[in-house]
Amino acid sequence: MPLILITNDDGITAGGIRELVSIALKYGEVLVVAPDSPQSAQGHAITIESPLFVRESSVFGEGVKAYECSGTPVDCVKIAKSVLLDGRVPDICVSGINHGSNAAVNILYSGTMSAAMEASLEGVPSVGFSFLDYRADADFSVCRPYVERIIEHVLENGMEEGNLYNVNIPNLPAEQIKGIKICRQADARWVEEYRAGEDPRGRPYYWLSGNFVNNDEREDADANALQAGYVSLVPSQHDLTNYASLARLQGMEGEFATAGGGTIANTGVAGKQRLEQF
């Protein structure tokens, strides 16, 4: 039977991971390793200055091996690989189902996606699932057919040219979701605002808020596909190289390689003009 590693960032008692475990049990043996408390927006943080505590959990009932970890979502994947799996390699890692969107730039902040990415770094085909409903009582059952379809596809076919999918599901009634669209990451970001206040002891504080700004008009951008009623699937990766500028910069390597603390003046007029483009 396939071995399925499950994790999340909302904590081991969250409704989304309960739905994910229920789905995964149809396809194989399940191992759950999840944070013992909510760890949203932890990104790829790891714990290095304090010990990790791991306790077996019965929250999913008999037949499901589950552990709660005192660390971050990435810690959960690392401790699973290094300790709990005892040398076994999962056939797939699934993370989520997250409360709220991890589309566009959210992937960089997301503990859900960072946990999936950590497993993908180890060569494990990995999928992060997110549902665009922030309510504590969100009904994750609308996600079920899409989660099933993607898990089945990965178990049957693996992943070509990479091993990480970022899947977001719109907050719509089941009959209004149009299907799955294969997307690119939208060129969109958060414009932050810090709201100032004062606590009861007179100490000033700042509370992060902001607005999500999407200037990407492409239909296959994940944020736009979600807005149009589709489940978005973005093939993702941990390689952050900007390949669009790589070739241009490689052609200028000689201008950077000035010996003995050379300056921009050593490159000549043409080289100086090109460097000033930055």
Q: What tens digit of pLDDT does each residue of 113-157 get?
A: 999 999 999 999 999 999 999 888 899 999 999 999 999 999 999
Rounded Cα–Cα distance for residues 154 and 141 (Å): 21
Query: What is the predicted pLDDT for the residue at 154?
Result: 95
What residues have CB less than 8 Å from 169, skipping those under 6 apart?
Answer: 97, 129, 130, 131, 132, 142, 143, 146, 177, 231
In angstroms, the first-to-last Cα distance of the chain is 54
Query: Is 214 one of the annotated binding-site residues?
Result: no
Pinpoint the residues of the chain covered by CATH 3.40.1210.10.
Answer: 3-187+218-235
Tell me whether residue 126 is annotated as binding. no
Tell me the pairing of strands 92-99 and 180-182: unpaired
* Residue pLDDT, tens place only, 33-80: 999 998 888 888 899 999 999 999 999 998 899 999 999 999 999 999
What CATH class is the domain 3-187+218-235? alpha beta
CA dist., res. 250 & res. 157, Å (int): 36
pTM for the full model?
Answer: 0.86
Q: Is 10 annotated as a binding residue?
A: yes
Residue 258 has a pLDDT of: 59
β-sheet bridge partners, residue 237: none
Q: Is 166 annotated as a binding residue?
A: no
CA 8/CA 131 separation, integer angstroms: 13
Measure the CA dihedral 30/35/36/39, to 10°.
Answer: -150
Half-sphere exposure of 166 (CA within 13 A, CB side): 29
- The torsion angles phi and psi of 112, rounded to 5 degrees, stand at -60, -50
Residue 272, token pair as written in the block: 């100086």
